[in-house]
Each structure stands twice: as C-alpha cells, then as structure tokens.
Amino acid sequence: MPYMDSYVVGPIEPLLPFSLSEQLRRTAHAFAGKDALISRHQECRFSWAQLDEVVEDWARGLRGLGLADGDRVGVWSTSCWQWVALQLACARARLVLVNVNPAYRSHELRFVLRKSRMKAIFLWERDARANYRQILEEAEAPGESLQVIYFDTFAGWKAFGELPAAEDPHEVVNIQYTSGTTGLPKGVLLTHHNILNNGYLVGRQMNLTADDRICLAVPLYHCFGCVLGVLAAVAHGSALILPSWTFDGGAVLEAIHAERATALYGVPTMFIAELEHADFEQFDLSSLRTGIMSGAPCPIEVMKRVIGQMHAEDITIAYGQTEASPVITMSSCTAPLEVRVSTVGAALPNTEVKIVDPATGETVPVGVQGELCTRGYLVMKGYDDEPEATRKAVDADGWLHTGDLAAMREDGNFRITGRAKDMIIRGGENIYPREIEEFLYTHPAIADVQVIGLPDARLGESVAAWVRLKQGQVLTEEELRSWCRGKVAHFKVPQHIRFVDQFPMTVTGKIQKYRMRQLEIEALDLGKAARIETA
C-alpha cells in the first residue's frame, strides 16, 4: 500500500545490546581462526582470535598510561592495522576515541586538540603527504600535558593497567568532528549503541556473513570507514581488507583480486578511478558481490558500470551524516536496480524518517520536498560541550534535523534533492563554507570573502571563493592558495578564486550565493557537470 505522508519507520528488529568490546569477544569466539583484518601495504594479517588478543593487550597498555574512564585518546593516521586496534582497544579500556582527519594541518589540529581535551594522541611521524611530527609541534602549545605516541617507534607498552568493569553500551565511545551548519567544528558524541548497531544493520542490508571480505578503500577516520567498515565486520565476522595507506585505485583492484573480496566500499570518485584504471582489465573482480557507494551524490551511470563491469550486482547506496552514526537510509542488495540507481533507499530498521516543511515543521505529503529528519537509536548523544548547538540539531521530541532536502516516494524510498544547510561535498569530504571563510578572513589582505560549491564532474563539487581585498592590497590566486597550504586540509583550499569589488545581494543586503554559483557555472562552462544525474 503506497504511503500518503512523508513519514516511515523501518522494520522493528532486535538491536545488539553489547558494547564494542563484548561484540568483539563474541565474534572472536565464534570465528576464532577466520581472517579478521588484513593490511596489505603493511603485510600484516590477523585472525579474529589474534585481533582480540592484540586489543586486550592494547587496552591494558592504554590504562597503563594512566588514562582513566572517559578520557579522550586521539588517532591521527591514514589507514593501518594500528588504527583498528586502537579503536577497539579504547572501547575495551572505557576510553573515548577522537578521530583526527589526516588531512588536518596546524590550524585545524590546534583547535581539535584543545576542543577535545584529549590526553593522548597516536600518530606516525610522517608519510608521503605530511610531516605530522612537525605539524603537531606547531599546533601544540608548550607545557600542554599531551602524551604523544608515534607508531613508528612504538615497541610495546611500558606498563599495564587493570581493565575496568564491563562497559555501558550507552556510554560515549567515539568523537568525530563535523562543522554542523555554521561555525567551527563540533565534536559529535557517539555511543557504543549508536555505532555498533548502525554497522550491524548496514551489514544486514548487504547480507554480510563471516564468509564475506570487505575491501575498505575509504579512510578510517570517517564514519564510512570506522563504522560501516570496522564495526560491520566486527558485528558479522567478515574480514576487513585495507588495500593502502590512502586511496590508490590500483591497490584496491589488486586487493580485490588477491584477497577475493566480496564487498567494496567507496565514494563515487573512487569507483570512477578504479573503473578508469589503465590495468582494470588485468584484474579478476568476479568475487565481488556487494558494497556501498556513498559519501557524495552517486551518478547513476557509475552505479550501472559498477554492477556491469565490476560484478558487484548487489551494490548499495547509503545516505546519512555523522550525527546519525551515520546511516539513515540505504538500499538493500536485493532492491530492484531502479531503486538502487535512482534513490538513497529506505529507512534502516529501527529508524524513523520524516520529511517536514522547513518553515512550519509539519510533515509534508509524499513527493513534496522538505527537510529530512530522523529519530531512533542512531541519533548522537549530542555535540561535545555544545548544548545550544545540540538543541538546534535535535529537537525536544528527539528528531535530528539533518539540514538536507529530500522527497519520499510512495514506495518509502527517498531521493536527496538538495541541502538546506550551507555545505559542500567534495569527493566524500564535507566542507563547510563558513569555516573556510573564517579562516580566509585571517589573511591580512582580505576584507571580505564568500565561499561556495561548484559542480565538478570528478569530485561532485569543488570549492570556489569570491574575495574582496582591502583597499590598496594586491593578491594573486596562487599567492592565496600557497598561504592556505599547510594551514588547512588540502581539500579546503579553493580550486577557483575570483577577486571582486562586490557580491550579488538582495535589496535587504543578503548575499545571493546561488547567484554567485550560477555566474561561476556560466563563466567556467560547468553546465555539463551541473546536469549529472544522481540519486
């Protein structure tokens, strides 16, 4: 029977009542000898029994550092087995893991170090992209009591502490940073119950079992990696394959071929890079069955190529945000192709979704665009030390207001139609214009700046900045980009810069960003990219 109003609740199913640590113990007991974690670039592999043993050792070592219940521990690293071990060990030691984006530079790192109040941070000294030791030294104020542990020289724990009593599944176990709609990044507080069950239900949508092998091309610091990847594997006993430190299309194809992966995760740009790799035809991808394409609008033609050329006939699309642990809606691997290429699926089990009129808050009829809201086990505990921002995001009835515009079909599937909030999604990275604007304002030559997103055929969107200089000041595009590099993540550096004397405004003085976007699309001939059809 078709729906009339844009409200639905997914199937009601039993949720996992365990903490991350207890679920790991159960999985290790059930599938002791089966592959759990394979890091191909590090030439390391662990069975579930071995991984559980490492996690136990690391949890006791973390307590031996003097860390107490609820203390925050940062991890600032690209993909490696140590990241996964630390995630699970922090949970067992009743510590809170703080995910730090490896692309962060001194300006962003300094903020997160202080905002999170972390007591320790784990990292590599450097990699091909950055000197992390140097960036940390620039970001950390002298005298701050932060324990710094470098994986490069980590030779084991100097002391071991006693593990605490069993963890409460409703305790916060993870903090991930997102800017919300405005201002500086906010720490999203996620509990065991939030993220373990989200990983579990996402795995259910793909019919994951202990015989599945997930090739994780996405970074671990993001929910896509550490929840949909790590925790889906922990919940279902599937093997997790890390193909490389950072995304490398060739390494992904090699990992699928050599490890007989059955599931592949990625944002659309990753799938495109794999499909267009020069040696694509040399790899046997016939083991692939399913996977997730998410993190950015998914071009329909790319989905069709993944099904046809990569053999992932059961590929799915997921939609969500960090504040929702993260997945809200998802197509099942058995859904008709039309649903999987033209919508973001239906509400996950135990998840309420409604579309409301942003002005009145009333639920709209099916087919009418409005703001997507969700409620249930998946909603974050709140923003860290940000009660007012939490109240704005989660209303008194427990509904998380996503800020995304969507429409619900009669069959209960959803299409994302736009964003009510000011946000750019570039290659799966959420970028908040206000944050970049506030950073650019610190340049001594800049009087005013407005940042917008532009359509990009490869990345989904790119960053553009309109800059008004102070009187008498001179600045070039490359000088401004050079000034940004090393201070903010590379994906936040504006790709397009236009120096202007004024911005398009309404009669009341409100800046018309949509008009700026239209002008740039015309000037840069981006009409074709703007017309790419997505779910």
Residues in the chain: 535
Which residue is it, tokens 């662990």?
Answer: 46
- Find the angle CA(495)-CA(498)-CA(504) to the nearest 5 degrees: 120
Q: Where are the domains of the chain?
A: 7-408, 424-530
Q: What is the DSSP string of 255-291?
A: HHHHHT-SEEEE-HHHHHHHHT-TTGGGS--TT--EE
> How far, in Å, are 80, 87, 139, 429 from residue 221 at the CA level?
11, 10, 19, 11
Measured in degrees and rounded to the nearest 5, phi and psi for residue 466 equal -100, 125
Q: How far apart are CA 429 and CA 224, in angstroms?
A: 11
Kindly tell me the sign of the dihedral angle through the C-alpha atoms of 231, 233, 239, 241. Answer: negative
Give pLDDT, residue 447. Answer: 84
- Joined together, the tokens standing for residue 418 give 């736009």
- Find the angle CA(257)-CA(262)-CA(266) to the nearest 5 degrees: 85
Q: How do the pLDDT tens digits run along the chain, 535 residues long?
A: 688 899 999 999 999 999 999 999 999 999 999 999 999 999 999 999 999 999 999 999 999 999 999 999 999 999 999 999 999 999 999 999 999 999 999 989 999 999 999 999 999 999 988 999 999 999 986 556 899 999 999 989 999 999 998 889 999 999 999 864 445 789 999 999 999 999 999 999 999 999 999 999 999 999 999 999 999 999 999 999 999 999 999 999 999 999 999 999 998 888 988 998 999 999 999 999 999 998 776 777 788 899 999 999 999 999 999 999 999 999 999 898 889 888 999 999 999 999 999 888 999 999 998 999 999 999 999 999 999 999 999 999 999 999 898 999 999 999 987 766 667 888 888 787 878 887 898 899 998 888 999 999 889 899 999 998 988 999 999 999 999 998 999 999 999 999 999 888 755 455 788 889 999 999 999 988 888 766 6
- Find the angle CA(272)-CA(246)-CA(281) to the nearest 5 degrees: 40
Give pLDDT, residue 506. Answer: 58
Give pLDDT, residue 181. Answer: 43
Give pLDDT, residue 508. Answer: 46
CATH T-level fold of 424-530: GMP Synthetase; Chain A, domain 3 (3.30.300)
Which pTM was predicted?
A: 0.85
Q: How far apart are CA 465 and CA 479, in angstroms?
A: 14
CATH T-level fold of 7-408: Rossmann fold (3.40.50)
Which secondary structure element, helix H or strand E, spans residue 191, and what is its range?
A: strand 186-191
What are the residues whose beta carbons fall under 8 Å from the beta carbon of 139, sequence distance 6 or more? 106, 107, 109, 110, 113
Tell me the pLDDT tens digit for each residue of 222-242. 999 999 999 999 999 999 999
Give pLDDT, residue 1. Answer: 67
What are the residues whose beta carbons fall under 8 Å from the beta carbon of 1, sequence distance 6 or more? none
Give pLDDT, residue 263. Answer: 98
**DSSP secondary structure code for residue 382 in this structure:** E
Kindly tell me the sign of the dihedral angle through the C-alpha atoms of 369, 373, 374, 375. Answer: negative
Tell me the pLDDT tens digit for each residue of 109-157. 999 999 999 999 999 999 988 999 999 999 986 556 899 999 999 989 9
Q: How far apart are CA 304 and CA 292, in angstroms?
A: 13
Two domains, one topology: 7-408 and 424-530:
no
